Amino acid sequence: MVHIYQRLSQRYIEEQEVGGKSLRFLYETIPGRLLLRALVGPQFSNWKARQNKQPKSAKKIEPFAKKYNIDLSQAEQKEFANFHEFFTRKLRPVARPIDREPNHVIAVADGKLFAYPITESGEFQIKSSRYTLRELVQDEETAELFEGGTCLVYRLAMDDYHRYVYPDAGKKVKEQAIRGVLHTVRPLAHQYTKVFAENTRQWQLLLTETFGPVLYMEVGAMLVGKMHDHGLASFKRGEEKGYFEYGTSSMVVCYQKGSIQLDADILRENEKQIEVQVQLGEKVGEKDAP
């Protein structure tokens, strides 16, 4: 079981394990790793996405919502033609209010948040895997902008809202899509492979009004059929940026050195190697004082 700190209730909870035995078989056994080669390809995830768009998939909605304690009264839509419509549902704005204080850093998505310091040489470590920004974005000029900064990783699980927003008002400067495979983003996988450097991902370099340059990356994962980015050239704080189809996934958001200071409770729990469950739009830090 994975223990996380639930910020809303200020208590520790055990995250529900989805396919835990299957994942351990895939990543920890020789026959499992042979099978894994086929499952991390796009064909399996795309097939699953097609199944979720069939009318008969609607019968999965009620048991799924019950299992993960999903409050359907928060959704704008009240009826769903299939499971895909349910999973990608939009919530009413009151369900995820956006912190409008300009100097506050907001959570760009629901998720389990962990902050990683980026070294002056552009390195950071997630679980047992050590990454460089260069291998993550495959763009040296962009990677250099965030050396010595802070990397926020939002891990979206099945119970999270799978739409995400812009961190501040600004404009898009650069973007790139990188093809890869689709490993699960659950903590287990990070022990055996460099998930964020191998998975399909797309990133944008944003020039924001409050925090300056921000690197914003969506990372695909096993069962995620597609990442839908609205592709806005300019945007407002808290405006919807896109959404994920069914499956777990991750967001990686990097801020420059000296630009932000995270809230004390997040730093405290991360120091204990515990992820913090946050909700889209809430304050997770603030602009660092000059």
Q: Is residue 271 part of a domain?
A: yes
Q: Is residue 74 part of a domain?
A: yes
pTM: 0.89
Give domain status of residue 140, yes or no. Answer: yes
Q: Is the pLDDT of residue 109 over 60?
A: yes
- Number of domains comprising the chain: 1
1 has pLDDT over 70 = no
**pLDDT confidence bin for 246, thresholds 50/70/90:** confident
Higher-confidence position of 28 and 223: 28
Q: Is the pLDDT of residue 36 over 80?
A: no
**pLDDT tens sequence across 203-239:** 999 999 999 999 999 988 766 557 889 999 999 999 9
Residue 260, in any domain of the structure: yes
Band the pLDDT of 12: cuts 50, 70, 90: very high
Q: Is 284 contained in some domain?
A: yes
| 249: annotated active-site residue | yes
Q: What percent of the chain has pLDDT over 70?
A: 87
Is residue 138 in some structural domain?
yes
Q: Residue 136 falls within a domain, yes or no? A: yes
pLDDT value of position 220: 80
Q: Name the active-site residue from 249, 250, 259, 263.
A: 249
| Owner of token pair 């299939």 | 82
Does pLDDT of 190 surpass 70? no
Which structure tokens are listed for 147?
């050396």
Given a cut of 70, whether residue 274 has pLDDT beyond it is: yes
Interval 85-89 mean pLDDT: 94
Residue 179: which domain range?
1-9+19-290
Does residue 14 fall inside a structural domain? no
- Specify the higher pLDDT residue, 13 or 129: 13
- 3-state SS track over the chain: CEEEEECCCCEEEEECCCCHHHHHHHHHCHHHHHHHHHHCCHHHHHHHHHHCCCHHHHHHHHHHHHHCCCCHHHECCCCCCCHHHHHCCCECHHHCCCCCCCCEEECCCCEEEEEEECCCCCEEEECCEEEEHHHHHCCHHHHHCCCCCEEEEEEECCCCCCEEECCCCEEEEEEEEECCECCCCCHHHHCCCCHHHHECEEEEEEEECCCEEEEEEEECCCCCCCEEECCCCEECCCCEEEEECCCCEEEEEEECCCCEEECHHHHHHHHCCCEEEECCCCEEEEECCC
Confidence of residue 91 (pLDDT cuts 50, 70, 90): very high
